[in-house]
Chains A and B, each alone.
Chain A
Amino acid sequence: MSDTDRSPSAAAHEYQLAPDESPSRGVWSVVAVLEDCPPPELPSLAETIDPEALDAAFIGTTATDHVSFEYAGYTITVTSDAVRARALECDAG
């Protein structure tokens, strides 16, 4: 992973998942880095999406291509090997 751009207005931040890292862990890890706070201080991911269902979507032969949702002020896009976070303010202009 490259150095993190701490600016919340960064266009998009991409986080490569480690080989055995679950996508849900990737989501809270990348947002924690962008928000510069420990992961448990973010809103619980479970309020937005069922983390286990998210992880399950990328397992097996019928795995999903990508999943997008909004979480903690970011548009999150998850693929099988990466998590992309884009701050919502940017989308709003």
Chain B
Amino acid sequence: MRGEQTNDVLYALRDGRRRAVLQLLRNRTEPISDEEVAVHLAAADAEKRLLDVTEDELAEWRVSLRQTHLPVLEEAGLIDWDAETNAVAVSTHPALQNPTLERIVETDGVDWDEVLGALVHRRRRIALSVLADYDTALSRVALARAVVEREPGTETVETADADPVEDCCAALHHVHLPKLAAAGLVSYDARSGAVSYCGHPLIEDTEWFDLHLPETPRAVLSVAEPSQDIWRLDGRANVIEHCRALCEYADDELFLLYTDEDLIEAACLRCLQDAVDRGVDVYVGTQTQAIRDRVREQVPGVTLWEPQRDWMNISPEREKVGRLLFADREAIMLGTLSKHNDHGIQNETAITGAGEDNALVMLVRELLGSRLDHLDEQSADFLEEIPF
């Protein structure tokens, strides 16, 4: 069953045979014939060399690939399948760049079927992300209420007496919570109605349940176009890399804000030193004494200042801003940190924009305005005017 609530990508990946197809194709630079895919998978399945695969083994794979798995992968947009030549290749679908999905496709010997089968339904992903936000058990009704609140355009059945929360509560009890419990993602006491989050050892990142994971692209509005102005970076390593690139990009001025000491990596300080050496004016703002001390000691050429408001920590329960970089007032990166997961790890993501006409750049330039020019004066009057 694949209604609106079903994610095509997860549906395609929930079957180990389809994950095997993707794994095979990802390692190829050229399209290969569907027959060749069948030979490889039949051999891997029977743990044989390619030449030793029997005609029976091959026939079974040939049929299931052509009838089921390749069409499903194609429909999800994960592969390109040329109907005339029967050549198959991985597509450029953004989901294939998602680190969690990559790990799922590349990790052999883990049974993802049940987990992905549980995550396939949007309501279950929303329920999980709600539960992951709580340390304690939630009642079924409280969960239903929170799920309905987060569901975009809640689906209710068109019957006279349908109340969305009651309806969701019933569906959770009869369908969704048993599925999540079977996959080991939640524990559910059907009698008391208490639900709590268990998590999965291989899915560290609970934000994943909110599915930043791209759906198969389709326009939300016919007039809407995907933005080329704002880019999204996922994962600490990518954020640091971009951070470094921005530091190198700056010719005149580099403005940075940090909230978390852990974010000032040694490599970062070296980049700042390089910028100072090139003659760039570098400003580092932070409320954390430890960061100021460290920067003052290791990169003495930097102008330090202390933001007046702890605006970056407004909501410790949710994502918070981790760092902001503004280079030459025309390129920007805003990094956010998720809350700590069970392993004490925070995931970092960032949005970036570049160019004087970029909306994000313009916003921050307007907010900071000419006040940026007076940071080094450390005048109380000026600092009070800084919105950060």
- The interface of chain A, by Cβ under 8 A from chain B, is 18-22, 24-25, 28-29, 32, 38-40, 42-47, 51-52, 55-56, 59
Contacts and interface: CB of A to CB of B under 8 A. Distances in A.
Contact of A28 (B141, B159, B170, B193): B170
Q: Interface residues of B: mostly helix, strand, loop or mixed?
A: helix
A44 B157 contact: no
A45 B193 contact: no
Given A40-B170, A40-B193, A25 B178 contact: no
A24 B157 contact: no
Contacts of A38: 166, 170
Interface in B205-228: none
Nearest to A48: B174
Interface of B: 1, 140-141, 157-159, 166-167, 169-175, 177-179, 190, 193
A64 B172 CA distance: 25
Contact of B179 (A20, A39, A46): A46
Contacts of B166: 38-39
A29 B159 CA distance: 11
Contacts of B177: 44
A21 B178 contact: no
22 contacts: A18-B159, A24-B175, A25-B157, A25-B170, A25-B171, A28-B170, A28-B174, A39-B166, A39-B170, A39-B174, A40-B140, A40-B172, A40-B174, A42-B173, A42-B174, A44-B173, A44-B177, A45-B174, A45-B175, A46-B174, A51-B174, A55-B1
Interface centre among A29, A52, A59 (most CB of B within 10 A): A52
Contacts of A21: 157-159
A20 B157 CA distance: 6
B169 A46 contact: no
Contact of A24 (B140, B174, B190): B174
A32 B159 CA distance: 15
A45 B170 CA distance: 10
The 3 closest A-B pairs by CB, nearest first: A46-B178, A39-B170, A56-B1
A22 B20 CA distance: 33
A52 B1 contact: yes
Nearest to A21: B157
Nearest to B178: A46
A26 to B, nearest CB: 9
Contacts of B193: 40
Contacts of B157: 18, 20-22, 25
A19 to B, nearest CB: 7
A83 B174 CA distance: 16
Contacts of A24: 174-175
Contacts of A22: 157
B1 A47 contact: no
Given A38-B166, A39-B173, A44 B159 contact: no
A28 B190 CA distance: 15
Nearest to B193: A40
